[in-house]
Amino acid sequence: MATEQPEQRTWRRPTAFYNHYVKWAVYVVITVFLLWSAWNMRISVARVIEGWGAAIGLIQGMVPPEFTPFKMDLLIEGLIESLAMSVIATIVGVLLSIPVAFMSAENIAPRPVYWVGRGIITVSRSFHELIIAIIAVKAVGIGALAGVIALSYKTVGFFAKLLAEEIEDIDSGQMEATEATGANRVQTMLFGVVPQVMPRIIGLTIYRWDINIRHSTIVGIVGAGGIGATLLNSFDQYDYDFFLTIIIAIIAIVMVGELISTYIRGRIQ
Amino acid sequence: MLSVTDLQKTYPSGDEALKGVSLDVTGSETVAMIGPSGAGKSTFIRCVNRLTEPTGGSVELDGLEITGLSGKELRNARRDMGMIFQEYNLIERLTVMENVLSGRLGYVSTWDAFRRKFAGDDIERAYEVLERVGLGGHENNRADELSGGQRQRVGIARAILQRPKILLVDEPTSSLDPESSRAVMDLLTEIAAEDDIPVLINIHEVDLAEEYAGRIVGLRDGQKVFEGGPDDLDETARGQIYRGEEIPEGAGPTGKVAEAGTPGESSQEEGQIRRG
């Protein structure tokens, strides 16, 4: 038969990289980097076994957790301080965030204001709360105030960024309609914008409170108040029984906070 | 009386949405603006209350030049112009009452607006207007619970509460079914006649325009190509508005040469007689 077979066509999935050579090169680089990292840390099998033994010793030292009245008082005092810090930091942070969010929404803020708002958010997001807590402790002294400052500061970056994105997504028709009645700028925001983002404001506040509870248990490690200080003390004094008690209490508090937050957010959807 | 002269709008991209349109709306007449999509109908209405900034020409409302105003003066001018939108543009999460009362925002302080505190007279009048548009008893419903036709009635009530000197209506029926469309148009023309408010209305549906408007203006490509009574809107005129058919040299406002009298003027006279 002289009929020519049409050449069979092949197909390869297009790659996200420039071509398949680049793709394999990238894979090789990633693998080499992983191997180098492992080698760099020199984690030997013997070291792992040795560490394992120490870990078991530590855990054995922790059980049973300690519930003596004196320690319970310490625990409750620390927890209440942590909770109070988280509540105050959330309220202060949210109140500061809302104007920043409006400043950072591209669709309503004039250009220069927008950049100032974005700048505030970026600066707030740049540092870990522990760094801010260390600075705050130096500035205002050891105690809960420093923790509140650190947590409020972090709240602004988180809350304003997410709220600004929500404001950018609003239906501008409602804003225009308000403007068309002769309302001034603030009134236009109050009627044309705020009702649209209110559920998000509530949801984000609850969510941030949930995060602040968790973080309020940690800033105490650098002296910024709350249960963290108690936690570190117990550890430094080899008081592992009490250490476990605190850990359990923190888990309980965070879980309760999460339950409350889930419930409220479910209700406002 | 609204008097628009040579209104122009050129977008930064170079698109000419309006190439010098003049139009007067007086008395309690209903003027319908028809034309194909993109002819500049919405731009025209939005330039009147300056939701869109015109690039040339003048807009006068009762002798006050609107185009030069800013800040407080512009807001005060806007209080006199009620606007009704295609997508209703109600504040969805607020109650019907709050939506209607938002028509008074130009008259309350920001702090009172924050507390949703409106004058007793305004609240009383809001109840009356709601009953008038057939929504009595719905004041505590949230706007997003209402049907399309009901929402547009809230939109009308909000505009009416402003006690406007003119109603600017942008495609009020495009999101509604034919039944609700007629109900909304009935309501609009009825209120305009009772309260003696002129209405400038953009509309897609030519049959509604013919039925409800005292005067019809045809816009094409940012230019006025037709102005006359509903009776003047014959096949030739439709062709000129919608299909861009040529308008003969020396034609009158209705796009025809040498007709007895100019219907555009006669309908204006009619409007003045009615006003008197």
Q: Do B104 and A181 touch (CB under 8 A)?
A: yes
| A234: exposed, middle or buried (Cβ count in 10 Å: 0-12, 13-18, 19+) | buried
Query: Given A190, A192, A198, which is nearest B114 (Cβ)?
Result: A190
Q: Are B228 and B267 in contact (CB under 8 A)?
A: yes
Compute the distance between CA of residue A77 and CA of residue A73 in angstroms, rounded to an integer: 6
The pLDDT of residue A235 = 85
Asked if the C-beta of A187 comes within 8 angstroms of chain B's C-beta atoms, the answer is yes
Higher-confidence residue of B222 and A160: namely: A160
| pLDDT tens per residue, range A197-239 | 988 898 889 889 889 988 988 888 888 888 888 888 888 888 8
Q: Do A190 and B92 touch (CB under 8 A)?
A: no
Helix (H) or strand (E) holding A134: helix A129-140
Q: Do B93 and A177 touch (CB under 8 A)?
A: no
Q: Are B118 and B101 in contact (CB under 8 A)?
A: yes
Q: φ, ψ for residue A182 (rounded to 5)?
A: 95, 15
Q: Are B88 and B146 in contact (CB under 8 A)?
A: no
Query: Given A176, A187, A195, which is nearest B94 (Cβ)?
Result: A195
| B229: exposed, middle or buried (Cβ count in 10 Å: 0-12, 13-18, 19+) | middle
The pLDDT of residue A45 = 79
User: Most A CBs within 10 Å: which of B48, B94, B101, B102, as the mutation test of the A interface?
Assistant: B102
Q: Cis check for the bond before A110: say yes or no (omega within 30 of 0).
A: no
| pLDDT tens per residue, range B55-113 | 988 898 888 888 888 888 899 999 999 999 988 999 989 999 999 999 999 899 899 98
Asked if the C-beta of A233 comes within 8 angstroms of chain B's C-beta atoms, the answer is no
pTM of the model: 0.78
Helix (H, G, I), strand (E, B) or coil at A27: helix
Q: For chain A, what is the mean pLDDT?
A: 88
| pLDDT tens per residue, range B117-133 | 888 888 998 999 899 88
The pLDDT of residue B14 = 84
> What average pLDDT does this structure show over A241-261?
87
> What average pLDDT does this structure show over B211-235?
85
In chain A, the residue whose alpha carbon lies closest to the alpha carbon of B113 is A187
Compute the distance between CA of residue B43 and CA of residue B123 in angstroms, rounded to an integer: 33
* Look-up of token digits 């409602």: A174
Interface confidence, given as ipTM, is: 0.83
Give the percent of chain B with pLDDT over 90. Answer: 21
Neighbours of A87 (CB within 10 A): 15
pLDDT > 90? residue A153: yes
Q: Do B90 and A190 touch (CB under 8 A)?
A: no
CATH says B1-80+166-172+198-276 is which class?
alpha beta
Domain segments of chain B as ranges? 1-80+166-172+198-276
**CA A241 vs CA A52, A60, A73, A84: distances in Å:** 20, 9, 15, 26
Q: How far does A202 lie from chain B, in Å, by closest CA?
A: 14
Asked if the C-beta of A194 comes within 8 angstroms of chain B's C-beta atoms, the answer is no
- Structural domains in chain A? 20-60 (no CATH), 68-268 (1.10.3720.10)
Asked if the C-beta of B186 comes within 8 angstroms of chain A's C-beta atoms, the answer is no
Residues of A in contact with B90 (CB under 8 A): 174, 177
Asked if the C-beta of A54 comes within 8 angstroms of chain B's C-beta atoms, the answer is no
Helix (H) or strand (E) holding B20: strand B16-25
Compute the distance between CA of residue B21 and CA of residue B38 in angstroms, rounded to an integer: 15
Would you place residue B262 in the very low, low, confident or very high pLDDT band (cuts 50, 70, 90)? very low
pLDDT > 60? residue A1: no
Query: Given B87, B110, B162, which is nearest A181 (Cβ)?
Result: B162
Query: Given B80, B85, B113, which is nearest A177 (Cβ)?
Result: B85
Asked if the C-beta of B106 comes within 8 angstroms of chain A's C-beta atoms, the answer is yes
Would you place residue A17 in the very low, low, confident or very high pLDDT band (cuts 50, 70, 90)? confident
| pLDDT tens per residue, range A46-97 | 888 888 888 888 888 888 888 888 888 888 988 899 999 999 999 999 999 9
pLDDT > 60? residue B265: no
Q: How far does B255 lie from chain A, in Å, by closest CA?
A: 34
Strand B199-202 versus strand B30-34 pairing type: parallel
Query: Given A182, A196, A199, which is nearest B78 (Cβ)?
Result: A182
Q: Do B105 and A182 touch (CB under 8 A)?
A: yes
The pLDDT of residue B248 = 74
Give the percent of chain A with pLDDT over 70. Answer: 97
Asked if the C-beta of A184 comes within 8 angstroms of chain B's C-beta atoms, the answer is yes
Helix (H) or strand (E) holding B34: strand B30-34
Alpha helices in chain B (DSSP H): 41-48, 71-79, 96-101, 110-114, 120-132, 148-161, 178-195, 206-212, 235-242, 263-275
The pLDDT of residue B270 = 44
In chain A, the residue whose alpha carbon lies closest to the alpha carbon of B99 is A191
The pLDDT of residue B268 = 45
Tokens of A130: 């522990």
Q: Do A190 and B110 touch (CB under 8 A)?
A: yes
In chain B, the residue whose alpha carbon lies closest to the alpha carbon of A172 is B89
Tokens of B123: 């609240």
Q: For CA atoms B77, B79, B80, B81, give the dihedral sign.
A: positive
